[in-house]
Chain A
Amino acid sequence: MRTTFRVNNTTHELSVDARVTLLDVLRDVLGLTGTKKGCDQGACGACTVIIDGQRVLSCLTLAATCEGREVVTIEGLATAGELHPMQAAFLHSDGFQCGYCTPGQILSAVCAVQEVHAGVPSHVTRDVRQPVDAATLTDEEIRERMSGNLCRCAAYPNIVAAVRQVLSCRDASTVARGGDVEVRV
């Protein structure tokens, strides 16, 4: 079947089997191997991409359902050779060891920061009726919000540090602008 969608600001018109996932299209058809296949069953988060401004799992997304949608992968994050602030923060904080989960971690973290700036609660938010405040966000909140991305090397403390670095960046608009990624909450 035929389907047309955008990946990192480029339109792709594809002929795919209905069974094919977005993850396999990205890696095997478009050659965008930055998106990783970990468990392939929605458990590890390595395949996280941003579709229409929201972080989702590409391994559980059929390519056929992406018609007309806007996909951002790790390859689409840097602009003109300049790293996205979250990529720079992962480097600065040493937020990885083997690196396999890192693309998913970074895309997830980009969205997590925007969700916090939008004030939406998480499972560990004390009172869901109150908006959360980026300035006073606990490590427990960052961990909960990133719990969909597993790291078998257990680089978690440094991942939390990277997310916090971007969260506490005074100019939040820099983050929102980075890589022209529009995150929708």
Chain B
Amino acid sequence: MNAFTFEQSAAAEDAARLVAARPGGMFLAGGTTLVDLMKVDVLAPDTVVSVRPLAISNIDVTDDAIVIGAGVTNSQLAWHPIVRDRYPVLSEAILSGATTQIRNMATVGGNILQRTRCPYFRDVQAACNRREPGTGCDALEGFNRGHAVLGVSDHCIATHPSDMCVALVILDAEIHSLRADGSTRSVPFPAFHLAPGDTPHLEVALAHGELITHVVIPHLPAARRSHYLKVRDRASYEFALASAAVVLDLDGETIRAVRLGLGGVATKPWRAIEAEHFMTGRTATDDTFRAAAEIALAGAVGREHNHFKIELAKRTIVRACADARDKEL
């Protein structure tokens, strides 16, 4: 691990300024991504600014929204009684990822900013446009069984690893941030993560030194009928091969509205808007879900080892939607 200067401050503005002032500066929250990647020399910040002392670890429930501090841990959010009651898909998504120890450390802000688990990104000997722009991508012709089939480019096919983000992308969440100059802004969740295109090193809509302070989820009564289904090689403690987050608003057997997110198969937390439009107004049958799944994966590009994900994702969508439909409220 390279040497670095450790800084911390109790004021968010100071933390943002400390990072902004150093091109090699980074924020440290739970450490489950940053410390890990520093040990394997993928990340080598010269300044590390801990956000732990900042007072951004509360969950505030209002009549029309839930406001989640960026420093709230994954456990804190998944176990919160109001979150479990109003947004079961969010609790389920978080609880399906990692382990209790890691969820106790990892924060909401850090989960949103977590880096890909692509083995070529994690190996400094490999070619990786995301880690080192212009060096190529060893995953394209390499062992790409875990890689993405949606939102891919000829420069990068790395999967976005988060489960939590797949729930947040369908819940109209907004990411609020603070810039070093003290100004604030908010970005709708679907616009926050960037597909790789020809600039895979640009991952999120944040400037250097810009700090995520909180995430706001508006009240969404339909989310009581929601579900997260994760399919993976092991029953626990494994990343998704395919996952689906569903919010289903039913009027009898008719789908009044639906939201569908996909994980494990895309380069960013994926919302399947066209599939949602197709299902709206139709009867909530498995046939409808299957037709919607075909639409959701229409643009998928499989490679040597990950072709199976296209059919797997379709079946995951059908089962997730059916499970949400059959839930007893």
Q: Which residues of A contact B (CB under 8 A)?
A: 1, 17-19, 21, 40-42, 45, 48, 54-57, 60-62, 64-65, 108, 111-112, 115, 120-123, 125, 127-129, 143-145, 147-148, 185
Contact = CB atoms under 8 A, between A and B. Distances in A.
A19 B4 contact: yes
22 contacts: A17-B3, A18-B5, A19-B4, A41-B39, A56-B104, A56-B105, A60-B36, A60-B105, A61-B31, A61-B105, A62-B28, A62-B31, A64-B6, A65-B31, A65-B52, A108-B100, A112-B100, A123-B236, A129-B84, A148-B101, A148-B102, A185-B79
A175 to B, nearest CB: 17
Contact of A57 (B6, B96, B101): B101
B31 A122 contact: no
Interface of A is mostly: loop
A60 B35 contact: yes
A145 B5 CA distance: 36
B171 to A, nearest CB: 15
Interface of B: 1, 3-6, 28, 31-32, 35-36, 38-40, 48, 50, 52, 75, 78-79, 84-85, 88, 91-92, 95-96, 98-102, 104-105, 235-237
B237 A148 contact: yes
A57 B104 CA distance: 9
Contacts of A108: 100-101
Contact of B236 (A19, A55, A143): A143
Contacts of A145: 100
Contacts of A185: 79
A128 B84 contact: yes
Given A40-B39, A121-B91, A18 B96 contact: no
B32 A123 contact: no
B240 to A, nearest CB: 12
B88 A129 contact: yes
A132 to B, nearest CB: 11
A123 B100 CA distance: 10
B36 A41 contact: yes
A48 B104 CA distance: 11
A128 B94 CA distance: 11
Contacts of A62: 6, 28, 31, 35, 48
A147 B91 CA distance: 18
A128 B102 contact: no
B96 A123 contact: yes
